[in-house]
Amino acid sequence: MKIIAFVVMATIFEAVGDAVMRIALKTPLTLQGRAGLFVLASLLLALYGLFLNLAPTDFARATGVYLASLFVAFQFVNYVFFKHVPSTGLLVGGSFMIAGATIIFFSK
């Protein structure tokens, strides 16, 4: 189950890094504030790449878990950072992603 820990951490870093980058780009800030957010976003996105590639499994198997956890992380971060509530269609489609990831992960 170490793979799940690596992949979930990677998706958290990616989702939060993307949100921080979006804030840096779209929020009126001082130059120092914007630069600080760019540095933070860059660090988080670098950690995403590191954790995803350090996952102790082949990349094809990690991809299913990654996509499902990315869906969940993006919805959570979008709600926490931007107060965006996912639509019913988005949640239904995401449930198919999670089901597919489960099949990929547990199949041999």
Structure tokens at 3: 């793979």
Q: pLDDT tens for residues 41-87?
A: 999 999 999 998 888 877 777 778 888 999 999 999 999 999 999 99
Helix, strand, coil share of the chain (percent; to 5): 85, 0, 15
- pTM beyond 0.85: yes
Residue 56 φ then ψ, to 5°: -80, 60
Q: What is the pLDDT of residue 10?
A: 93
Residue with tokens 């489609």: 93
Query: Domain locations in the chain?
Result: 2-106
Residue with tokens 């914007």: 34
Euclidean distance between CA atoms 15 and 35, whole angstroms: 19
* Triad 25, 27, 33: Cα angle to 5°: 80
